Amino acid sequence: MRIFLAPMEGVVDHTMRTMLTQVGGIDRCVTEFVRVTTTLLPPKTFYRLCPELHKQGLTPSGVPVYVQLLGGQPEPMAINAERAAQLGAPGIDINFGCPAKQVNRSDGGSVLLQEPDRVFAIVDAVRKAVPASTPVTVKIRLGFNDRSLLEDVTQAIFAANASELTIHARTKEDGYKPPAYWDAIADIYANSPIPIIANGEIWSVADYHQCIKESGCQDIMLGRGILACPDLARQINATQLEQHVRVMDWLMVVELLVQFCVVTEAMYERKYVGNRVKQWLGYLRRQYPQAAVLFEQVKRLKWPEDIAAAIALHKTEYSKAI
Ligand SMILES: Cc1cc2nc3c(=O)[nH]c(=O)nc-3n(C[C@H](O)[C@H](O)[C@H](O)COP(=O)(O)O)c2cc1C
């Protein structure tokens, strides 16, 4: 069983990968997508989305980070994959799942699920462009408007010699509306020559068990669920090993937020720290009621020192109250 951290544009960046892999239980991460059009992108684009390339493509906790590419043309995808591999990416992931209108209109993401031949051409070109030792993984949804081409798309991906396939168990049309249809992955998994990773709507250990039961998969990818519950991967690992693990309490999460401010300030302009913290609190709110309280306390603040002071005060008040 392996657990992967989902790519999430504007949310799971280098700083978030640092925090979540430090908590533990994650076997691999994927960057936000690098948008490929027609040109070979400069190294700085790859380093910006994947600063881990300066450190052998590993997070500070030693977890590999694959570079995700999104685009509709085989040749530009291939040359950019080659570049990412040369810069030290431990693997390349190809995005055929993005539902964003703007991305789909410009020939990328889930719109390509309507064209299995092009999916083949892209994966095949990328596979041939990078060394055999560099895994090429693919991420899809169940389809664009419906699931009618799922079998053709997955066969195309297998024929192109992809290393692994992650399936977000919804179509583009389904958007992010629950549920995720884990059972729709079962046939693909049963007949696949490569590992299949199930993704979508895993918010708890119970969801994990249900997902592997319905999909048959052993490996999973966690997105919003692990943002809401930072030790979810660790909890899932513990149940697999039948070990007891101490579940993170709110004060431990607050400590994580303090560190998040520090690593975020080191990476971005100071004015962005507040928004990043508020964004994470938005996800944490689902699991920790106190996150909503802290959100109210920081919502008008922008500067790191003000946010840090508000978090410190919150910690004192909360500790007194429990
Ligand atoms: C804000 C946001 C940004 C995302 N960005 C990406 C992305 O860059 N690449 C990608 O393949 N999927 C992206 N996704 C999809 C997630 O990787 C994942 O498939 C989806 O959120 C379902 O998993 P979850 O229910 O565990 O969150 C994004 C999802 C969200 C909510």
Which pair of tokens denotes residue 35?
A: 């948008």
Return all residues near 226 (Cβ < 8 A) that are at least 6 apart: 5, 6, 20, 26, 232, 233
Count CB neighbours of 103 within 10 A: 20
CA of 99 to the centre of ligand 1 (A): 10
Give domain status of residue 143, yes or no: yes
Q: Which helix (H) or strand (E) holds 185?
A: none
Clarify whether residues 62 and 135 are in a common domain: yes
- What gap in Å lies between CA 124 and CA 111, rounded to an integer? 18
Clarify whether residues 302 and 212 are in a common domain: no
Helical ranges in 1-87 per DSSP H: 14-23, 43-49, 74-86
Domain-ending residue, one of 240, 260, 295: 240
In short, whether 87's Cβ falls inside 6 Å of ligand 1 is no
44-56: average pLDDT: 98
- What gap in Å lies between CA 32 and CA 221, rounded to an integer? 14
CATH number of the domain that residue 43 is part of: 3.20.20.70
Domain-ending residue, one of 220, 240, 260: 240
Q: How far apart are the first and last CA of the chain?
A: 37
Clarify whether residues 128 and 234 are in a common domain: yes
175-199: average pLDDT: 97
**Confidence class for position 243, pLDDT limits 50, 70, 90:** confident
Instruction: Give the CA-trace dihedral at 104, 110, 111, 115, to 10 degrees.
Output: 150
Clarify whether residues 99 and 219 are in a common domain: yes
In short, whether 35's Cβ falls inside 6 Å of ligand 1 is no
Cis peptide before 304 (omega within 30 of 0): no
Give domain status of residue 261, yes or no: yes
Clarify whether residues 161 and 30 are in a common domain: yes
Residue located nearest, by CA, to atom 22 of ligand 1:
200
What is the number of structural domains in the chain? 2
- What gap in Å lies between CA 240 and CA 222, rounded to an integer? 16
Which atom in ligand 1 lies closest to the alpha carbon of residue 221?
26
Clarify whether residues 292 and 184 are in a common domain: no
* Domain housing 295: 250-321
**Tens-place pLDDT, residues 82-129:** 999 999 999 999 999 998 888 877 788 999 999 999 999 999 999 999
Give domain status of residue 245, yes or no: no
Ligand 1 probe mutation, 168, 232, 287, most atoms within 8 A of CB: 168
Domain-ending residue, one of 192, 222, 240: 240
So what's the pLDDT on residue 185? 98
- What gap in Å lies between CA 67 and CA 102, rounded to an integer? 21
Catalytic residue IDs: 98
In short, whether 8's Cβ falls inside 6 Å of ligand 1 is yes
Give domain status of residue 77, yes or no: yes
Ligand 1 probe mutation, 26, 165, 224, most atoms within 8 A of CB: 224
Clarify whether residues 312 and 177 are in a common domain: no
Please provide the size of the chain in residues: 322
So what's the pLDDT on residue 104? 78
Clarify whether residues 82 and 208 are in a common domain: yes
So what's the pLDDT on residue 241? 83
Residue located nearest, by CA, to atom 2 of ligand 1:
8
CATH number of the domain that residue 257 is part of: 1.20.225.30
In short, whether 274's Cβ falls inside 6 Å of ligand 1 is no
**Confidence class for position 242, pLDDT limits 50, 70, 90:** confident
Closest CA to 259 of 242, 246, 241, 277: 277
Give domain status of residue 281, yes or no: yes
